[in-house]
Structure 1
Amino acid sequence: MSQYYDLGDRTLWNPSNGVSRLFLRQLADFEAELELPSGVGPMVNDEARIDPVAFGVFVRALAAWYQRSRHGVLRALSGGFVATILALAERAGVALDEELVEPQLAENTRDVSRSMAR
């Protein structure tokens, strides 16, 4: 079984149910931390719709938040999630300022993107 993250008529990601559940729980935590909606709608019938405008705002805020932090534990705890969001953002066509994505994060995002099934 798998779930779908769709933007319009395009599927951006099609993870397994377990990966999707974990992603959605982490997403809720980061929405609370940033006090912003992510633009990722609820999972209904194994599909979540993504609002491109709200998602873009969330992605930029998350990248800026991550970039500002130099706390090692915070970065370790959040780095994989941020890379996953940035991989989705790339697939969604969300433009980011280059200074928001440091080289190591960009490399991690490429690695995550390669392992994400569409």
Structure 2
Amino acid sequence: MDRTDPTTPKSVNARECQIDPVALGTFVDTLVQQHVRTNHAVLIALSEGFIATMLVLARRAGIELTWPPDDAPDPRTIADIQVPSAAADSTTGARARWDRLRDTSRTLSTRMAR
């Protein structure tokens, strides 16, 4: 780990580190935007739990999140190359993913240590 790199987490103790809230907010926003814009079923399945966890951490850091963002695209306008699946091709896919992320992050929040 490069301690001179400003993006390297600074150790507080063995179980905590300091993270720049602005950088975390940008990271979480980017994750969510990519998640909502893709229709790739495998990517959606693999990223959902991680993104929900990051949403909990962002909220705890005081980062303001909006549901859904004003510029959320129509999921039918952006397509990855893959074999189509019912979950990825739904016309309400982006909104359904937003709702699932919100619900999952709320559940996780009650189960994650503070």
Q: TM-score, normalised by structure 2?
A: 0.62
Larger relative helix fraction: 1
Deviation at 1:103, TM superposition (A): 0.9
Distance 1:40 1:113, change over 3 A: farther
Distance 1:114 1:66 in 2: 23
Q: Give yes or no for the alignment of 1:95 onto 2:91.
A: no
Deviation at 1:42, TM superposition (A): 5.1
Deviation at 1:40, TM superposition (A): 7.0
- Whether the 8 Å contact between 1:83 and 1:108 is mirrored in structure 2 is yes
**Aligned pairs for 1:94-113 within 5 A:** 94-100=63-69, 102-113=98-109
Mark the structure with the bigger radius of gyration: 2
Aligned to 1:59: 28
Q: Write the deviation string for residues 68-103 of structure 1: whole angstroms up to 9, x where unpaired.
A: 112111111111100000011111111123114711
Provide the identity percentage. Answer: 45
Aligned partner of 2:9 among 27, 33, 41: 41
Which residue type is aligned with residue 101 of structure 2?
Answer: L
Q: CA RMSD in A?
A: 2.0
Which residue type is aligned with residue 66 of structure 1?
Answer: H
3-state SS of 1:75 partner: helix
Distance 1:87 1:70, change over 3 A: same
Deviation at 1:45, TM superposition (A): 3.6
- Report runs of 4+ in structure 1 exceeding 6 Å deviation: none
Q: TM-score, normalised by structure 1?
A: 0.60
